[in-house]
């Protein structure tokens, strides 16, 4: 047996939490339906496409208190304040970690960040059951993360269809060409290539650049993880990414708005 990885452990914890969930499906559905009745989502995919269409590299700015690989990044951050500075810097969207155990986040962080700005918000978490998708809508998210490595083909397609039904965009996170293939098969129109291997935690920029051409032109492409600054961002923009998703390099900075603006400008003029 291969050793249990961080990803396995996090997924096991999420599956155990889902199994221990005493709420009925009807209860969770009602909460999601209430959110749908309260109003439409803000358009996460459309926001990235629009900013890219306007000549920028779209920035998905992440609110991340800590990570399993780096420990505390910004444990005392105030989500509303951080959201304001990201918006001021020109972020196209936010990503908010809602996983508590490994990342120190919460649904309350997402709600606070979203109400502090007009930006669409991705719920960054480990989606393992359909209830997670319903919860994402109920907590106010505009998009949900589906990690290809954590889901089988049926789950990927079903969870994505449910997200679409609820008005959520689904960011399907891939790590290699085979996973991109599976994402497309499941109908993905928004694909993230995670440069960090969720098993070894190693970041490989060459991989994101190599995988990019595998993704069709009508799919919005997001490069995730390990983007340290404008130089990294420019390489990814040149490789065909519409957007970068950046956590650590933004959350640890005193001048978060300027750091976002510098990433957004990191595109070689056509």
Ligand X SMILES: O=P(O)(O)OC[C@@H](O)[C@@H](O)c1c[nH]c2ccccc12
Interface of this chain with ligand X, residues 104 to 133, rule: CB under 6 A: 124
User: Is 173 one of the annotated active-site residues of the chain?
Assistant: yes
Residue with tokens 């810097």: 89
User: Is 118 one of the annotated active-site residues of the chain?
Assistant: no
**Catalytic option among 62, 112, 179, 214:** 62
Contact yes or no for 241/212 (Cβ under 8 A): yes
User: Is 185 one of the annotated active-site residues of the chain?
Assistant: no
**Catalytic option among 112, 173, 214, 248:** 173
User: Is 69 one of the annotated active-site residues of the chain?
Assistant: no
CB of 249 to ligand X, least distance (A): 6
CB of 38 to ligand X, least distance (A): 27
Q: Does 62 bind ligand X (CB under 6 A)?
A: yes
**Catalytic option among 85, 95, 112, 124:** 124
Q: Which residues contact 11 (CB under 8 A, 6 or more apart)?
A: 126, 128, 150
The CA-atom distances, in angstroms, between 10 and each of 6, 13, 56, 67, 128 are 6, 5, 35, 12, 11
Interface of this chain with ligand X, residues 209 to 248, rule: CB under 6 A: 224-227, 245-248
CB of 22 to ligand X, least distance (A): 26
User: Is 70 one of the annotated active-site residues of the chain?
Assistant: no
DSSP E strand stretches across 66-165: 66-67, 71-72, 93-97, 121-124, 143-147
User: Is 194 one of the annotated active-site residues of the chain?
Assistant: yes
Interatomic CA distance for residues 212 and 230, integer angstroms: 19
Q: Encoding tokens for residue 69?
A: 């690989």
CB of 193 to ligand X, least distance (A): 10
**CB nearer to ligand X: pick between 34 and 200:** 200
Q: Encoding tokens for residue 259?
A: 């750091």
Whose CB is nearest to ligand X?
247
User: Is 181 one of the annotated active-site residues of the chain?
Assistant: no
Q: Which residues are catalytic?
A: 62, 64, 124, 173, 194, 224-225
- The residue ranges that bind ligand X (CB under 6 A) are 62, 64, 124, 173, 194, 224-227, 245-249
């Amino acid at each position: 047996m291969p050793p249990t990885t961080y990803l396995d452990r996090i997924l096991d914890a999420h599956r155990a939490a889902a199994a221990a969930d005493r709420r009925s499906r009807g209860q969770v559905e009602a909460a999601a339906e209430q959110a749908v009745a309260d109003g439409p989502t803000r358009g996460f995919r459309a926001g990235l496409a629009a900013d890219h269409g306007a000549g920028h590299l779209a920035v998905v700015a992440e609110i991340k208190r800590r990570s399993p690989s780096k420990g505390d990044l910004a444990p005392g951050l105030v989500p509303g304040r951080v959201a304001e500075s990201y918006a001021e810097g020109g972020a196209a969207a936010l990503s908010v970690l809602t996983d508590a155990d490994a990342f120190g986040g919460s649904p309350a962080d997402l709600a606070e960040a979203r109400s502090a700005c007009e930006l669409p918000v991705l719920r960054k978490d480990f989606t393992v059951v359909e209830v997670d998708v319903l919860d994402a809508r109920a907590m106010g998210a505009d998009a949900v993360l589906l990690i290809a490595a954590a889901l089988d083909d049926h789950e990927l397609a079903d969870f994505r269809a449910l997200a679409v039904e609820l008005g959520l965009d689904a960011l399907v996170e891939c790590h290699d060409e085979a996973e991109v293939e599976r994402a497309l098969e499941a109908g993905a129109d928004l694909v993230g290539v995670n440069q960090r291997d969720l098993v070894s935690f190693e970041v490989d920029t060459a991989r994101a650049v190599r995988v990019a051409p595998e993704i069709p032109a009508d799919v919005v492409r997001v490069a995730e993880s390990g983007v340290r600054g404008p130089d990294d961002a420019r390489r990814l923009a040149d490789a065909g990414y519409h957007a970068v998703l950046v956590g650590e390099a933004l959350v640890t900075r005193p001048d978060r708005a300027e750091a976002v603006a510098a990433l957004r400008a990191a595109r070689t003029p056509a």
